[in-house]
């Protein structure tokens, strides 16, 4: 009888212990379910954002978007500023690897030259996501994917508008972005392809102005001295250079937006305001707010989902017909 009572007692104790463990595990599961993707067990995931620079509205808006989205999802974001130096950007990525961040978002300054940094991250098994600009390498091997706009398409859309609105005849100045960057190469490629079949669309000069307003103004001043009234179109690879070119054209009495058509890419607020004022003719949007799609893509990667080699963000086209409609939401 005592043996039977002992067996029953042990069985009850075992059942109670099993139930307690089950309840604890269930509680842990519920806690995990409540934890954001960037916060595991109360510990924030640390991810890096290697920005190329923070000296213009577009870059500032991009960095803010990444910071805001990281905070929203519970990540700790290590953000660096390469200050327009590829060598520093390489060092920034290597520092992130040494810190053992769990992912790196990289906005490449140049297409070439970052292969060493990508290799260091790959060796450390840290996934790299390229945003807004491409870099040499193979998606799925050297980096996970590229997230950004179709830069060739941006240039093509501007070029097609220019051909149509000049009746296929113009003296064109091109202000290029950072030499060697994928965005400058592709925006040029798209524009030149669009005007190729119009032999009276003449390129008078094409010079880098490094995506900067002050540089754009200075380069435009020099080109006005060289080409004067032959200039009837100015195509710039971003709005900051366009705004600088507009100032140079005004100073020379060349009536930008009317006598000289000014066309651009980016879609920043000051550019839309210039369209409304009649100084700028068109700009194709290149949205800098990459935070949501960048972190969505990273979290899909963490879940083991298939990530495409390129994720293209759709962009709007702004001219006098819709600039006022969108100016309030522009960056």
Q: What digits encode the pLDDT tens for the residues 44-54?
A: 899 999 999 99
| Domain range annotation of the chain | 43-149+288-314, 151-286
Q: Does 100 have pLDDT greater than 60?
A: yes
Residue-level pLDDT at 18: 42
CA-closest candidate to residue 35, choices 69, 71, 70, 73: 73
Question: If you average pLDDT over every residue of the chain, what do you get?
Answer: 90
State the DSSP H helix or E strand holding residue 76, giving kind and residue range, or none if neither.
strand 76-81
Q: Label residue 207 by pLDDT band (50, 70, 90).
A: very high
* Domain with residues 151-286, CATH architecture: 3-Layer(aba) Sandwich (3.40)
- Do 151-286 and 43-149+288-314 have the same topology in CATH? yes
β-bridge mates for residue 262, sequence order: 234
d(CA 91, CA 97): 10
State what percent of residues in the chain have pLDDT above 90: 85
pTM score, whole prediction: 0.82
Per-residue model confidence (pLDDT) at position 36:
56
Task: Return the exposure string of 53-91: e unless at least 16 CB atoms fall within 10 Å of the residue's CB, then b.
Answer: bbebbbbebbbebbeebbeebebbbbbbbbebebebbbe
What confidence score (pLDDT) does residue 98 get? 98
Topology given in CATH for the domain delimited by 43-149+288-314: Rossmann fold (3.40.50)
């Amino acid at each position: 009888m005592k043996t039977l009572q002992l067996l029953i007692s042990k069985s009850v104790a075992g059942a109670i212990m099993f139930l307690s463990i089950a309840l604890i595990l269930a509680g842990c599961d519920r806690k995990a379910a409540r934890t954001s993707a960037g916060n595991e067990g109360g510990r924030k995931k640390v991810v890096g954002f290697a920005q190329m620079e923070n000296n213009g509205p577009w870059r500032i808006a991009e960095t803010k978007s990444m910071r805001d989205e990281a905070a929203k999802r519970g990540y700790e974001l290590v953000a660096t500023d390469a200050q327009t130096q590829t060598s520093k950007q390489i060092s920034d990525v290597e520092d992130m690897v040494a810190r053992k961040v769990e992912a790196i978002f990289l906005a490449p300054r140049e297409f070439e030259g970052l292969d060493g940094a990508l290799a260091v991250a790959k060796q450390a098994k840290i996934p790299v996501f390229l945003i807004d600009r491409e870099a040499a390498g193979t998606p799925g091997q050297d980096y996970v994917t590229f997230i950004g706009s179709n830069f060739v398409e941006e240039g093509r859309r501007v070029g097609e508008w220019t051909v149509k609105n000049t009746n296929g005849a113009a003296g064109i100045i091109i202000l290029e972005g950072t030499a060697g960057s994928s965005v400058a190469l592709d925006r040029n490629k798209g524009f030149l392809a669009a005007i190729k079949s119009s032999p009276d669309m003449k390129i008078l000069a094409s010079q880098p102005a490094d995506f900067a307003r002050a540089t754009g103004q200075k380069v435009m001043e020099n080109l006005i001295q060289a080409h004067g009234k032959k200039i009837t179109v100015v195509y710039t690879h971003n709005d900051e250079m366009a705004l600088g070119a507009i100032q140079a054209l005004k100073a020379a009495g060349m009536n930008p937006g009317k006598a000289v058509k000014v066309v651009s890419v980016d879609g920043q607020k000051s550019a839309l305001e210039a369209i409304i004022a009649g100084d700028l003719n068109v700009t194709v949007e290149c949205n800098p707010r990459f935070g949501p799609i960048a972190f969505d893509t990273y979290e899909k990667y963490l879940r083991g989902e298939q990530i495409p080699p390129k994720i293209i963000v759709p962009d709007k086209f702004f001219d006098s017909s819709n600039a006022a409609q969108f100016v309030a939401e522009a960056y």
